[in-house]
Amino acid sequence: MSADRENHDMTQTDIALLLADAADEVEIGIAPVQAVLRGGRRRRARRWAVAAATALVLAGSTGATLAFAGLSGGHADRTAPMAPGPASPEERHVYEPQQTELARGTEHGKEWFVWVQVWGAPRDAREADRQFHAMLRKGLSPAVDKAAGLIGKTSFYSVRAYGDDDPGEQVMFDTVKKIDRQAGTDLQSAAVNLQGSDAKGPYRLVVGHVAKTAREVTCRWKDGSSAVARLVDPVPGSADGTSVIRPVAGYPGGNWFVCVAPEGTGYRDVAVTK
C-alpha cells in the first residue's frame, strides 16, 4: 500500500503514534524546527505526520514542545511556564527607598542620626515624576533639575539629623547610571557639622563609603587625636559607638562609614587603615 493510501486511512490513534515517534527523533539544538524536518525525511511514510507536527512545534531554549491540539488523548492543557514579569516599582524601591541607619548618638541631651537612602531606578517618565515628588516630600533636594533626569538611574542620599526639630541635612548624594564599586583603599567622604549648618565648621562629622574589603577607617582631627571606625554587623543598633563601618541596603558600591570628632576640634583627614 502506498504512502498516500496510508495517509487517507490513518486513524487518530495512528496519527498520534506517528507524532510521538517523530518527536522522539527530534534533535535539540540551535534550530529544533530544522531537526524535526530532518527527522521527517528519514521515512517517506511519515512525511505527512512530521509535516503536521512541524506546524505544531514551539521551539524553546530548552527543547521542543508539541501541542496536540484537537487530538483525543492529547495534552493541549500543558503549557510552558510563563516568564516572570518585570518587578513592580514598589519591589524596585522607586517610590519608597531602602534606608539604612549608619550611626546615632546623643549630645547635649539631643539625639543625632546618620542614615543612607537608596532609590531604585525609574523605567519611564511616569515613574520618574512620582519618584521626584516623593523625594521632595521627604525633604530631599534631587541631584537632577528635572524628573526625566532620574530615568534609568539609581539615587542615593546620606543624611544627618540632630534633634527633633532638624529635618535633616544631605551630606553625600548623587544620581547615577551605575554605582561605582570601591576597591582596595578607595574612599570618598564629606565632613560636615554635627549640628547646624555653619559654613565655618567645626566639621566634626565625617561620612563616606569604602570598599567592602575595608575593615578599618581612621579619621584624624585637628587637635592630633583620631577616631577609628570598624566594620560592624549589618543589623542597625548591633554595635555601640559613633564611629562605624556598615553595609547599606541596595548599595552595591561598598560599605559606608561614620566618624565623629570630640567637641572643640574638627576634621583633618581620613584614610582606610586596614
Residues 164 and 35 in one domain: no
| Claim to verify: residue 62 and residue 105 sit in the same structural domain | no
Residue 175 · residue 153 · CB < 8 Å = yes
| Within-domain flag for 241 | yes
| Contacts for 208 with CB less than 8 Å, ≥ 6 apart | 172, 187, 188, 189, 190, 217, 256, 257, 270
Same-domain pairing of 191 and 55: no
Instruction: State whether 160 and 44 are in the same domain.
Output: no
pLDDT-based confidence at residue 7 (cuts at 50, 70, 90): very low
The Cα–Cα gap between 111 and 237 comes to 14
Last residue of a domain, one of 66, 88, 114: 66
Same domain membership, residue 114 and residue 51? no
In a domain, residue 187? The reply is yes
Cell digits of residue 13: 490513534
> Phi, psi at residue 95, to the nearest 5°?
-100, -20
pLDDT of residue 50: 36
Return the minimum-mean-pLDDT range out of 16-20, 86-90, 226-230. Answer: 16-20
Mean pLDDT of 8-15: 53
Residue 183: inside a domain, yes or no? yes
pLDDT tens digits, 39-72: 434 443 333 333 333 333 333 333 333 233 333 3
Is the pLDDT at 274 greater than 90, yes or no? yes
145 and 55 in a common domain: no
Does residue 160 lie within any of the structural domains? yes
Grid coordinates of 163: 534633634
Split at pLDDT 50, 70, 90, the class of 131 is: very high
pLDDT of residue 234: 59
Confidence (pLDDT) at 130: 97
52 with 105, same domain? no
Same domain? 38 vs 173: no
Three-class secondary structure of residue 13 per DSSP: helix
Backbone torsions φ then ψ of 261, nearest 5 degrees = -85, 150
CA 221 to CA 127: how far, in whole Å? Answer: 44
In the listed set 47, 66, 85, which residue is the last one of a domain according to the structure?
A: 66
> How far is 157 from 166, CA to CA, in rounded Å?
16
Domain count across the chain: 2
Whether residue 74 is contained in a domain is answered as: no
In a domain, 25, yes or no: yes
Residue 165 lies in a domain: yes
**Mean pLDDT on 241-261:** 93
Same structural domain for residues 46 and 150? no
Spatial separation of the C-alpha atoms in residues 19 and 3, rounded to whole Å: 16
Domain that holds residue 172: 98-272
Residues 7 and 57 in one domain: yes
Query: Is 71 part of a structural domain of the chain?
Result: no
Domain match, 117 and 186 both: yes
Model confidence at 164, in pLDDT bands (50, 70, 90)? confident
Q: Of 66, 87, 111, which residue sits at a domain end?
A: 66
**59 and 133 co-located in one domain:** no
What's the pLDDT at 112?
Answer: 92
The pTM assigned to this predicted structure is: 0.67
Whether 11 contacts 72, CB under 8 Å: no
